[in-house]
């Protein structure tokens, strides 16, 4: 009897061990399957990201080619809209120009969406007067003393002397910081230098100032065809409604005469912004291109600043190149 009892206990213990081993194997297999699923997703995302990047690059190349042909007077490469992903498209052709609402264009297994802008729609930070700098800051949630500080500090940063303005800053301020540095006392070589200037925070710079300033133009009159949403709102007397009407109009048709604005927006607003605007274009163009393959949520974007110059071997020169920018539509939704 005792032997039978021990045998039954051993059988029960063996069964329990088998159950534990089976459970352990199930957990191991589950973890392995989960890890493999993650690896597959990572591999797929990397593949789709790479494809999207090169599709976006195709958009940059296409836009650059169109701009070169437009600028040099060569025959344009026209894209029938039936090649674009636009269900409502008719027989018209895509306009590859500044401010145009360019529809997505099919390419390979996906499509690219391009936006073309021009540095003439911005204010040259090296040439802006104090009143212009104040104008740029009007749309930000800043009190008057903060605006004065930023405007004066920008002018102190770029002037050649070491005397600071009433609200400005020179070496004594910058060298008192934990991560100290000297005031440049020279022109800005890149707009990102603004992040070093007293009063300019990352929220201010990336929250709109970045899209309003440049170092590449020779005049501070703003090309109304190229001005960003933020730049339009910074103009004296401008309203959101008027800015939206301008963007909608130029998306469909280029503004070829400044006086046309008198029929697009309120005449009083037109008279208010008239001294600040022009139609003069710069040879520096910014191309934003977003690419992705069909059926994928993975999108890649890049921004390329080029100078159209017939003297260059390829007809243009790349000035800046930024990978992996965020589509503004996705950014707003996020």
| Mean pLDDT within 279-301 | 92
Do residues 75 and 135 share a domain? no
**In this model, does residue 332 exceed pLDDT 50?**
no
Q: What tens digit of pLDDT does each residue of 107-137 get?
A: 988 999 999 999 999 999 999 999 999 999 9
**138 occurs within a structural domain:** yes
Do residues 110 and 179 share a domain? no
**225 occurs within a structural domain:** no
What's the rounded Cα separation, in Å, for the pair 118 and 285? 4
Q: What is the band of 324 on the pLDDT scale with cuts at 50, 70, 90?
A: confident
Greatest Cα-to-Cα distance within the chain, rounded to the nearest angstrom:
111
Q: Which of 33-42, 111-120, 136-145, 273-282 has the lowest mean pLDDT?
A: 33-42
CB-based contact 277:221 (threshold 8 Å): yes
- Residues 6 or more apart from 65 whose CB is under 8 A from it? 77
| Mean pLDDT within 36-52 | 81
Do residues 111 and 173 share a domain? no
What CATH number did the domain enclosing 92 receive? 3.30.1300
Do residues 144 and 180 share a domain? yes
Tokens of 26: 């199930």
Q: What is the band of 10 on the pLDDT scale with cuts at 50, 70, 90?
A: low
Do residues 205 and 134 share a domain? yes
| 146 vs 36: which has the higher pLDDT | 146
CB-based contact 190:214 (threshold 8 Å): no
Q: What is the band of 75 on the pLDDT scale with cuts at 50, 70, 90?
A: very low
**193 occurs within a structural domain:** yes
- The domain boundary residue, chosen from 165, 197, 214: 214
In which domain, by residue range, is 87 found? Answer: 47-121+282-333
Place of tokens 């391009």: 114
Q: Which of 44-48, 111-115, 330-334 has the lowest mean pLDDT?
A: 330-334
| Percent share of the chain, pLDDT over 70 | 87
Do residues 154 and 97 share a domain? no
Number of domains in the chain: 2
pTM of the predicted structure, to 2 decimals: 0.78
Q: What is the band of 1 on the pLDDT scale with cuts at 50, 70, 90?
A: low
Do residues 59 and 139 share a domain? no
Q: DSSP for 251-281? A: HHS----GGGHHHHS-HHHHHHHGGGEE-PP
Q: What is the band of 12 on the pLDDT scale with cuts at 50, 70, 90?
A: low
Do residues 136 and 199 share a domain? yes
**165 occurs within a structural domain:** yes
- The domain boundary residue, chosen from 163, 189, 214: 214
Give Cα separations from 229 to 126, 127, 239, 241 (angstroms).
22, 22, 11, 11
**In this model, does residue 212 exceed pLDDT 90?**
yes
Tokens of 230: 């933020």
What's the rounded Cα separation, in Å, for the pair 41 and 306? 36
- The domain boundary residue, chosen from 214, 243, 273: 214
CA 241 to mean position of chain CA atoms: 23
Do residues 80 and 133 share a domain? no
CB-based contact 68:96 (threshold 8 Å): no
| Percent share of the chain, pLDDT over 90 | 61
**197 occurs within a structural domain:** yes
**In this model, does residue 43 exceed pLDDT 80?**
no
What CATH number did the domain enclosing 182 receive? 1.10.40.60
Do residues 187 and 171 share a domain? yes
């Amino acid at each position: 009897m005792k032997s039978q009892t021990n045998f039954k206990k051993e059988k029960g213990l063996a069964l329990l061990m088998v159950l534990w081993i089976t459970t352990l194997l199930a957990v191991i297999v589950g973890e392995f399957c989960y890890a493999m699923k993650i690896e597959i997703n990572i591999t797929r995302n990397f593949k789709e990201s790479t494809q999207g990047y090169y599709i976006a690059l195709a958009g940059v190349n296409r836009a650059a080619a169109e701009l070169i042909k437009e600028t040099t007077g060569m025959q344009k490469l026209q894209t029938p809209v039936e090649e674009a992903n636009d269900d409502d498209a008719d027989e018209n052709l895509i306009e590859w120009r500044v401010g145009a609402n360019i529809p997505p264009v099919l390419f390979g297994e996906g499509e690219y969406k391009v936006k073309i802008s021009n540095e003439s729609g911005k204010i040259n930070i090296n040439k802006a007067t104090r009143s212009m700098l104040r104008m740029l800051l009007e749309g930000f949630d800043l009190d008057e003393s903060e605006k004065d500080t930023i405007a004066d500090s920008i002018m102190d940063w770029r002037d050649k002397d070491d005397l600071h303005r009433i609200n400005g800053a020179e070496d004594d301020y910058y060298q008192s910081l934990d991560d100290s540095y000297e005031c440049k006392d020279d022109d800005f070589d890149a707009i990102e230098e603004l992040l070093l200037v007293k009063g300019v925070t990352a929220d201010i710079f990336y929250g709109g100032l970045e899209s309003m300033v440049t170092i590449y133009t020779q005049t501070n009159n703003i090309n109304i065809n190229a001005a960003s949403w933020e730049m339009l709102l910074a103009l004296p007397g401008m309203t959101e409604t008027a800015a939206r009407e301008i963007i909608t109009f130029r998306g469909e048709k280029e503004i070829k005469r400044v006086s046309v604005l008198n029929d697009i927006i309120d005449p009083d607003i037109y008279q208010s912004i008239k001294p600040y605007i022009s139609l003069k274009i710069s040879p520096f163009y910014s191309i934003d291109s977003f690419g992705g393959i069909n059926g994928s949520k993975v999108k890649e974007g890049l921004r390329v600043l080029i100078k159209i110059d017939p003297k260059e071997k390829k007809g243009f020169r790349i000035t800046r190149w930024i990978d992996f920018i965020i589509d503004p539509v996705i950014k707003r939704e996020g």
